[in-house]
Amino acid sequence: MPSESFPVAERGVEITAPARLHFGLLAPGPGEPLRFGGLGVMVRPPRMRLRLVPAARYQLPPQDEAARRIDSVVRRFCAQWRLGQPPPVRFVLEEGFPFHMGLGAGTQLAMAAAWALLCWRQQEPVAASVQRLARLSGRGRRSAVGVYGFSLGGWIAESGKPGPEGLAPLQQRVENPPAWRWLLLRPKLPPGRSGPQEEQAFQSLPPRPDVTRRLRHILYQELLPGLARGDFPATAEALGRYSRLAGEPFVPVQGGPFAHPGVQRLVETLWDWGYPGCGQSSWGPTVFVLLPEEATACRLQKRLEAQWPEPLETLLAATDTSGAQLRVAETRQAAG
């Protein structure tokens, strides 16, 4: 067959995925009919850009954490397709963002690797369902926000899962007005929980049905309706209250509703300055601020860079509405 019929086999693919902000779980502790659930949004920048290209042998990126996560997906792929050894491909992480910072890097990288491997197996660029990518990547064991967000972009709401198996169903996907912006703030603080430490934290959480009821009310009666109307003040105010309340069940493992006192100082300062739509993303330490348009976001960014007394990285982002994008890799990248 002509070589152009097999672009993945000869040239490989490149997948670009957005970052994920998570505003908090609805029911992180046991005892609820639906556990976990929650709300989040996909943003860009930052972004994850992963290439899979043909090679003489299986090769991983030099970054240890990225290599470990990709290799885990490759092992699952080999088991599913009954391959005796990893495929002769090279993974190149062209762009990325830090793991364990509340941006969903692990899920986005694993989903990208899974999609790239499916394209390699099929010998051409293919569409893949969210459920298939979740199974192959091993993601979505608790929250499914980043899993759905990888494929769909936008704001993702999911109500939770009734048991330990499977992927929680998608409840709602919403887009905000194009002018809205996010200011991402990363204090120089330890990374958030992950792996066995995260697992242990979830196992030790007490039931908080009172918090879950209040979170569901804010989400369904205030936040999502305000978002659907494009009502910035209502959305921002509800988002801040939701995020703040979502931290309450984690007090026993964090010592407070935030991952670190430095995160709490930053969030409380933003509230005092009149920016209610802020909070901690996932386990932190990244802090998000929702703003009505770019000029306001830039003013706050400059103010923080000038006045915040501690090291602070800032990044202006927009809501990503497309999810991950795939294209055939450039020929120059297809060397072994």
Place of tokens 């929650």: 38
Q: Specify the CATH number for 3-333; select among 3.40.605.10, 3.30.70.100, 3.30.70.1560, 3.30.230.120.
A: 3.30.230.120
Q: Which residue has the higher pLDDT, 191 or 71?
A: 71
Out of 52-61, 142-151, 153-162, 200-209, pick the least confident: 200-209
What's the per-residue H, E or C state across 33-68? CCEECEEEEEEEEEEEEEEEEECCCCECCCCHHHHH
Decide: 111 and 147 in contact? Cβ < 8 Å: yes
Work out the average pLDDT over 316-332. Answer: 90
Radius of gyration of the chain (CA): 20
The model carries a pTM of: 0.94
CA 313 – CA 161 distance, rounded (Å): 35
Residue 174: beta bridge partners?
Answer: 155
The pLDDT value given to residue 11: 87
Q: Is 292 within 8 Å of 284 (Cβ atoms)?
A: no
The larger pLDDT score, comparing residue 95 to residue 190, is at: 95
- What is the average pLDDT across 186-213? 86
- Position 291 pLDDT exceeds 80: yes
Q: What is the average pLDDT across 268-286? A: 97
Question: Is 314:184 a contact under the CB 8 Å cutoff?
Answer: yes
- Assign 6 a pLDDT band (cuts: 50, 70, 90): low
CA 78-114-283 angle, to 5 degrees, is 120
The predicted pLDDT at position 4 comes to: 41
Locate all alpha helices (DSSP H) within 207-276, ordered by sequence. Answer: 209-217, 224-229, 232-246, 251-254, 261-272
Mean pLDDT of all residues in 71-78: 97
Distance CA 216, CA 246 (A): 10
Q: What is the mean pLDDT of residues 145-170?
A: 95
Do the beta carbons of residue 242 and residue 223 sit within 8 Å? yes
User: Cα–Cα distances in Å, from 220 out to 209, 225, 251?
Assistant: 16, 7, 24
- Average pLDDT taken over every residue of the chain: 93
